[in-house]
Amino acid sequence: MLLFKRIADLKKYLQTQKSTGKSIGFAPTMGALHEGHLSLIKRTKEENDCSVCSIFVNPTQFNEASDLEKYPQTPEKDIDLLISVGCDVLFMPNPEEVYPKGQLSDLKLDFGNLDKVMEGEHRPGHFEGVAQVVNRLLEIVEPDRLYMGQKDFQQFTIIQRMLVLTNSNTYLRVCPIVREEHGLAMSSRNVLLSPVLRKRAALIYETLSETKENMHALFPNQLKAIAFEKLNVPHFKPEYFEIIEGQTLMPIEVLEDVDYAVACVAVWVDGVRLIDNIILKKE
Ligand code: PAF
């Protein structure tokens, strides 16, 4: 695996790959890699000649300084894991390399409702930062295909819109959620949980699965209320539980009215913020 820290060196290498007709698949990450990330890299390898992964803890998408400070960083382990799945190129820049002129975004895109609800409502400025960094990374890597996880449902929906708004030639591929043994969606933040709570956090997936089981018997508002109550137990603090249309992210009143429905949730578990989702239907 080749490791690049400088944009100019990475670009030069990728240009030579592209000039020989090689396709580039790109998975952006913030490190602290787990099986979910590795599934993205494996897909980039299956579908492209050259797989590129970036590790960059992007400061502009953290709305709380303390969250950025405690974000896990395990660079040596990440490098070993990437080598183990055969990743071709790792880009690991420092903030000055990515934001040479400071961190203000000159990318002003109108995402309509997409960045106002759920994560957007609870993490002001978060998606502006995500769009800014993904756009910057795409300018640098210019991949044929971009790989993101379904766990961040709202994130990939916004990035998909960004690709359309910027007339990008990159295709987005969304990879399924990878779960721990008891059902908790894999996340870099899971290591911040105590072993006991990490196991108990399977309650989140259990609640999503129950919502799906009951979706024909109850209205979305009733499903939401039941889910919220189930998640409102000691050490857990549900922030939102929404049942939304999968493309517009608008709340759904009657499931039969839509073809694509998703339940999305954010829960604080002992100060660690976890998100997850389940596709209820996609016709
Ligand atoms: O999902 C993430 O890890 C980040 O939001 C991303 C897409 C790498 C941008 O910093």
Give dist(CA 159, CA 154) in Å, integer. 9
Q: Which of 65, 138, 117 is nearest to 247 (CA)?
A: 117
Is the beta carbon of 134 within 6 A of some atom in ligand 1?
A: yes
The Cα–Cα gap between 242 and 118 comes to 8
Average pLDDT over residues 10-35: 98
- Mind listing the pLDDT tens digit for each residue in 204-243? 999 999 999 999 999 999 999 999 999 999 999 999 999 9
CB distance 44 to ligand 1 below 6 Å = no
Domains with residue ranges and CATH for the chain: 2-175 (3.40.50.620), 188-282 (3.30.1300.10)
- Which of 41, 53, 92, 130 to probe ligand 1 with, by most ligand atoms within 8 A of CB? 130
**What is the mean predicted confidence (pLDDT) over 3-9?**
98
Q: Is 98 in the pocket of ligand 1 (CB under 6 A)?
A: no
What are 55-87's pLDDT values in tens digits? 999 999 998 999 999 999 999 999 999 999 999
Which residues does 20 contact at the CB level (< 8 Å), separation at least 6? none
User: What percentage of residues in the chain have a pLDDT greater than 90?
Assistant: 96
Token readout for 277 is: 């989702």
Contacts of 139 (CB under 8 A, 6+ apart): none
